[in-house]
């Protein structure tokens, strides 16, 4: 074995508590690395069907039984449900000493697992920075995916090895920085979906037959430029200081998509601030532009 690589963990019996979009995909990735899914829990009909599709022949059982059968347990439930789940499992004696307990929440580090740690569990926070569909494509997308990892010092090698086995790249996040880390991801990924969906709706209303085809190359190039160059990649009427064009945009949005006005103004203001700070927006053009963006009548306010 290459001494620069983390040790390969022993083959583990893997359980999943919460058969949403994430858990079954991670279990499949671990299965491909040689681990053995042994149990999964799911509540809704959708999650049960997903588990049966992604993890065929793996029994669907209650959460406590998942912990009874598994050496490595993936807790893949919504963030707000995680603390009470961990407390409940610990209080009922379901947690076994030496059991690896892994949650995939971006918001939390390992402290949320403290009730289980006191019962002898080994806590890991492994958050894949990826959007999931609940299908086989998710397993493929894990290749090269960054994971936000938080772990006790004595478990860092185990955490790194598990992430690498799933095809991912570990990125260490301090416990106190988890909420900021997660907010950054949500700001970029979740809001992007909203912006793209709004853009496609407006293009369709403008008569574009295939909005996705029109936006695909443009957004792909914009994303690539932003990742490479940051604020230097800013283009468009706000960065140029074209106040008249921006005013026309706001007027059209008020007529055709009033629900999009507030978002447009908020993003345009943020763009103008960044363009001005980085010398892309000329100060002599900024005054008229900021005047347009400060027109609170555009987003439903009173002047």
pLDDT tens digits along 191-226: 999 999 999 999 999 999 999 999 999 999 999 999
Torsional sign, CA 60, 90, 114, 14: negative
Name the residue with tokens 């103008």: 272
Task: Tell me which DSSP letter residue 186 carries.
Answer: I
In a domain, 4, yes or no: no
Considering the domain architecture, whether residues 134 and 158 belong to the same structural domain is answered as yes
Residue 297 pLDDT greater than 70, yes or no: no
Mean pLDDT of 130-141: 94
pLDDT digits (tens, 9 = 90+) for 237-274: 999 999 999 999 999 999 999 999 999 999 999 999 99
How much of the chain exceeds pLDDT 70, in percent? Answer: 94
Q: How confident is the model at residue 139 (pLDDT cuts 50, 70, 90)?
A: very high
**Could you give the C-alpha distances from 298 to 52, 90, 145, 176, 247, in angstroms and in order?**
50, 52, 40, 39, 9
Considering the domain architecture, whether residues 113 and 54 belong to the same structural domain is answered as yes
Q: In the prediction, which pLDDT does 301 show?
A: 42
Nearest-5° Cα angle at 15, 11 to 17: 155
In a domain, 5, yes or no: no
- Residues 28 and 33: their CA atoms lie apart, in Å, by 9
- Residues 14 and 247: their CA atoms lie apart, in Å, by 56
Please give the structure tokens belonging to residue 134. Answer: 């609940």
Mean pLDDT of 59-87: 97
Considering the domain architecture, whether residues 168 and 212 belong to the same structural domain is answered as no
Q: Which helix (H) or strand (E) holds 201?
A: helix 191-205
Considering the domain architecture, whether residues 29 and 126 belong to the same structural domain is answered as yes
- Residues 298 and 303: their CA atoms lie apart, in Å, by 10
In a domain, 61, yes or no: yes
Considering the domain architecture, whether residues 186 and 119 belong to the same structural domain is answered as no
Residue 179 pLDDT greater than 50, yes or no: yes
Considering the domain architecture, whether residues 147 and 242 belong to the same structural domain is answered as no
Considering the domain architecture, whether residues 117 and 49 belong to the same structural domain is answered as yes
Name the residue with tokens 């403290």: 114
Q: In the prediction, which pLDDT does 274 show?
A: 95
Considering the domain architecture, whether residues 73 and 105 belong to the same structural domain is answered as yes
Q: Where are the beta strands (DSSP E) in 113-231?
A: 122-128, 146-150, 169-172
Q: How confident is the model at residue 295 (pLDDT cuts 50, 70, 90)?
A: low
How much of the chain exceeds pLDDT 90, in percent? Answer: 92
In a domain, 292, yes or no: yes
Considering the domain architecture, whether residues 148 and 221 belong to the same structural domain is answered as no
Q: In the prediction, which pLDDT does 302 show?
A: 39
Considering the domain architecture, whether residues 83 and 17 belong to the same structural domain is answered as yes
Alpha helices by DSSP H, listed for the chain, are 22-32, 45-54, 63-69, 82-91, 114-118, 137-141, 156-165, 178-185, 191-205, 211-229, 237-240, 243-256, 261-277, 283-293
Please give the structure tokens belonging to residue 90. Answer: 């610990």
- Residues 64 and 293: their CA atoms lie apart, in Å, by 55
169: β partners? 146
Mean pLDDT of 33-59: 94
pTM: 0.87
Which of 149, 173, 197 is the last residue in one of the domains?
173
Domain that includes residue 247, residue range: 181-299
Q: In the prediction, which pLDDT does 7 show?
A: 53
Q: How confident is the model at residue 43 (pLDDT cuts 50, 70, 90)?
A: confident
Mean pLDDT of 41-61: 93
């Amino acid at each position: 074995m290459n001494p620069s690589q983390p040790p390969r963990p022993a083959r583990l019996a893997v359980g999943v508590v919460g058969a949403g979009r994430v858990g079954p995909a991670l279990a499949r990735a671990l299965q491909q690395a040689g681990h053995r899914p042994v149990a999964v829990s799911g509540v809704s009909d959708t999650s049960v069907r997903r588990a049966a599709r992604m993890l065929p022949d793996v029994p669907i059982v209650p959460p406590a039984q998942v912990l009874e059968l598994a050496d490595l347990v993936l807790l893949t439930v919504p963030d707000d449900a995680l603390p009470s789940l961990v407390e409940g499992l610990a209080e009922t004696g379901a947690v076994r000493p030496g059991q690896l307990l892994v949650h995939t929440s971006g918001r939390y580090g390992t402290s949320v697992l403290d009730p289980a740690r006191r019962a002898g569990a080994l806590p890991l926070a492994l958050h894949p920075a990826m959007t999931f569909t609940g299908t086989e494509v998710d397993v493929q997308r894990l290749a090269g995916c960054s994971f936000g990892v938080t772990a006790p010092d004595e478990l860092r090698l185990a955490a790194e090895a598990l992430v690498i086995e799933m095809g991912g790249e570990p990125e260490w996040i301090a416990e106190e920085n988890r909420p900021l880390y997660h907010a950054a991801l949500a700001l970029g990924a979740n809001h992007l979906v909203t912006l793209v969906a709004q853009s496609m709706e407006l293009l369709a209303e403008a008569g574009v037959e295939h909005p996705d085809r029109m936006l695909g190359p443009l957004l792909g190039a914009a994303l690539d430029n932003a990742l490479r160059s940051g604020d230097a990649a800013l283009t468009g009427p706000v960065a140029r200081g074209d106040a008249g064009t921006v005013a026309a945009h706001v007027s059209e949005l008020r007529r055709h998509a009033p629900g999009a006005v507030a978002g447009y103004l908020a993003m345009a203001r943020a763009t103008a601030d960044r363009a001005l700070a980085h010398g892309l927006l000329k100060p002599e053009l900024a005054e008229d532009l900021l005047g347009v963006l400060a027109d609170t009548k555009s987003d439903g306010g009173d002047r």
